[in-house]
Structure 1
Amino acid sequence: MNARRDGRSDDDIAPVIPLKPEARAPERDGPAARIASGLGFLRRRLAGAYEVDEFGFDPELTETVLMPIVRTVYEHWFRVEVRGVGNVPESGGALIVGNHSGTLPVDGLMLQIAVHDEAHRDLRLLGADLVYQLPVLGHLSRKAGHTLAHPADAARLLGKGELVGVFPEGFKGVGKPFRDRYRLQRFGRGGFVETALRAGAPIIPCAIVGAEEIYPKIAELRTLARALGLPYFPLTPTFPLLGGLGLVPLPSKWLIRFGEPMPMEGYGPEDADDPMTVFDLTDHVRETVQQLVYDTLLERGPAFF
């Protein structure tokens, strides 16, 4: 045994054993993980081991297939930014009421991604009958959680604590000419207010800026629209002049803003049967959304920069 200056022997010193490099854990988002996830998804689909709700909403298909496709456009083409996410309730039923525009209803899809990614909730959009009369589009809309713009469906969703999205302007908003951009059209007969009153659910005003520029509608072919059973057949600077290429939306800059909730406190379900109360509330919501649109438009600035 050899003595050391520090008073310890060589035998007191633990030998240094070189450690083998640790094997790197497989990356969760690596190619192997993505392939495994995809195969698992296909296996569950083929086996029917997935769930849909009473409206046909398929969360797994939406999360795995549909949303990633739309999210690419959301992030890289329209470069959507969101404001006021804190005004969207973390839980419970609520009605998001927004302006509608764009010639084709792309704004609903962008709003759905914004709510999902920023507020971390599913948005159940209410759509027109025409959407569900189209074989492929109607089926995919159901799978994505959308349903008919009908008071009964909206009431059931709110009763389940869901977040429901509605565009009261309907086709009048989405199909208005470019010269009327960002000017809200009439809000129907106030069916969404009746639904909110009966459910006691708050209304969240929402402004969507950017959709007006994607397909600038300069005119329409009414005879052709009637022949095809469509509410309008648009003419834009690129469609139908450029054919299918004219269906590619222009890359406008989008900004989505959620306003402060408008609670239905002080009202009761019986107020839903009072036409004047419904009319006044509908007009108030429309004015709130219109002002929100103007404010958001000023913040957004130029349409394509």
Structure 2
Amino acid sequence: MHNNQSKTHPHLRVIHFTEHLEKRQQERTNPFEALSAKLEKRIESIETQLKDSIRLLETDVQRLAKTKHASVSAQEFKKEFDDFSLALEHRIQKSVRELETQSSNKLKRDELGLLNKLTRQLTRVLSFDLYKNIAKPQAIELPKDTHQEVDEFGMDPHFIGQVKPFFDFLYHRYWRVVVTGINNIPNQGRALLVSNHSGTLPYDGAMIACSVFNEHAVRKDARFLVEDFVYHMPILGSFMYRIGGIRACPENAERLLGKEHLVIVFPEGVKGIGKYYRERYKLQRFGRGGFIKLCMNTKSPLIPVGIVGAEEIHPVIFKSNILAKSIGVPYIPITPTFPLLGLAGILPLPTKWHIHFGEPISFGHHSKKETEDELLIHKLSEDVRGKIQSILVELLKKRQSVWY
């Protein structure tokens, strides 16, 4: 009896009403925070709904690959793949219809409808025709309008001038990049800029180069290394060459440093850009420390760089590794917008970016013999990783929202 009275006590009703008003006021005054919370919830929901369908798709592709002999022609394999894709879509639609008839809850039926739409888009976007006939990996060829002043790596200054307005839009208006620590970059001479990596596509390398070009008083020569798979993608590979991107390998980095350039590297590699959304801003392993050996051999200072904002432009909630092999990429990312929106889903979200350049670290006092000490290299690599992680933590503390 006492409990029933306490529930209806007028003072408690006033408190509950006040809390309700405060909650409504917070939603009105912080619309971006509410939007961010909704995005988080939607990402978790879609992740749960998609996993079973993706795994089913990969299982069937594995079965198909095992049953086909190596001598089967491309045309026969295409037909087999098309038949499989169509059968998969019909199977999913049939299952969803059966579940819909059994469900009396409208919300559940709506969720099933979303799942149906997602899986239908997935089978279409990952179709054989799209990637093997329309977007088939091609050999890198510079377009006919490439000018004679390109450098040995294919960078075309005239082309950069043509696309600069696009990158300025991304830098100043779309991602509204804020840069700190730019004075830690030397006015002259070589330096290795070591950064965290994210964003699915190499936007971060381009934005670091833009930040040096736009914010530094003297330097305009930052070059970024890009994962090998990017150069096997149609259009994007040639585009990367022309804007100054370079295939990631120690030899290319050493040649650039030998010419006194600023060189941007991402030791996380593919593991960095392929992180799940739940692992955002948690640095992955830094390989075998090749960038440390590079600094030792070339006597180049190392500048740690931290980027916040790029992790959210393509929130990866699931990855398909097996299907990716057929199109020459390490994985196919599943995000809240891809494949739900088809190819339009590859457009990045307009998050707010922060880039910080840390204080230079010198490795000039190390001897050449020490480059063969794997334990020392690993320790130094972990030290740099720790410094970049600390930069990210500080940037995240200062950030008010993903969007502003």
Please say whether Structure 1 and Structure 2 have the same fold, judged by a TM-score greater than 0.5: yes
Matched, 1:269 2:368: yes
Partners of 1:78 and 1:232 in 2: CA distance? 25
SS of corresponding position for 1:208? strand
SS of corresponding position for 2:355? strand
Greater shift after overlay, 291-300 or 78-87? 291-300
* Alignment map for 1:36-47 (pairs within 5 Å): none
Residues 51, 58 of structure 1: 8 Å contact kept: yes
Residues 200, 269 of structure 1: 8 Å contact kept: no
Give the TM-score of the pair, scaled to structure 1: 0.81
Deviation at 1:135, TM superposition (A): 4.5
Deviation track 1:240-262 (CA, whole Å, cap 9, x = no partner) reads 10113322211111100000000
Aligned pair partner of 1:111 in 205, 208, 220: 208
Partners of 1:158 and 1:271 in 2: CA distance? 20
Residues 322, 331 of structure 2: 8 Å contact kept: no
For residue 132 of structure 1, what is the aligned residue in structure 2? 231
Gaps (5+ residues) in structure 2?
1-142
SS of corresponding position for 1:70? helix
SS of corresponding position for 2:149? coil
SS of corresponding position for 2:401? coil
Deviation track 1:5-24 (CA, whole Å, cap 9, x = no partner) reads xxxxxxxxxxxxxxxxxxxx
For residue 55 of structure 1, what is the aligned residue in structure 2? 153
Residues 253, 300 of structure 1: 8 Å contact kept: no
For residue 308 of structure 2, what is the aligned residue in structure 1? 209
Give 1 or 2 for the bigger CA radius of gyration: 1
For residue 148 of structure 1, what is the aligned residue in structure 2? 247
Matched, 1:300 2:399: yes
Matched, 1:248 2:347: yes
Give the TM-score of the pair, scaled to structure 2: 0.62
Residues 90, 121 of structure 1: 8 Å contact kept: no
* Alignment map for 1:4-19 (pairs within 5 Å): none
Which letter does structure 2 place at the counterpart of 1:234? P
Q: Which runs of 4+ in 1 moved over 6 A?
A: 45-49
Which letter does structure 1 place at the counterpart of 2:223? R
Gaps (5+ residues) in structure 1?
1-44
For residue 181 of structure 1, what is the aligned residue in structure 2? 280
Deviation at 1:228, TM superposition (A): 2.4
Which letter does structure 2 place at the counterpart of 1:298? K
Higher helix share: 2
Residues 93, 201 of structure 1: 8 Å contact kept: yes
Matched, 1:98 2:195: yes
Aligned residues: 260
Greater shift after overlay, 94-103 or 225-234? 225-234
Deviation track 1:91-126 (CA, whole Å, cap 9, x = no partner) reads 111000000011222111111111111123221111
Partners of 2:295 and 2:340 in 1: CA distance? 44
Deviation at 1:166, TM superposition (A): 0.2
For residue 79 of structure 1, what is the aligned residue in structure 2? 176
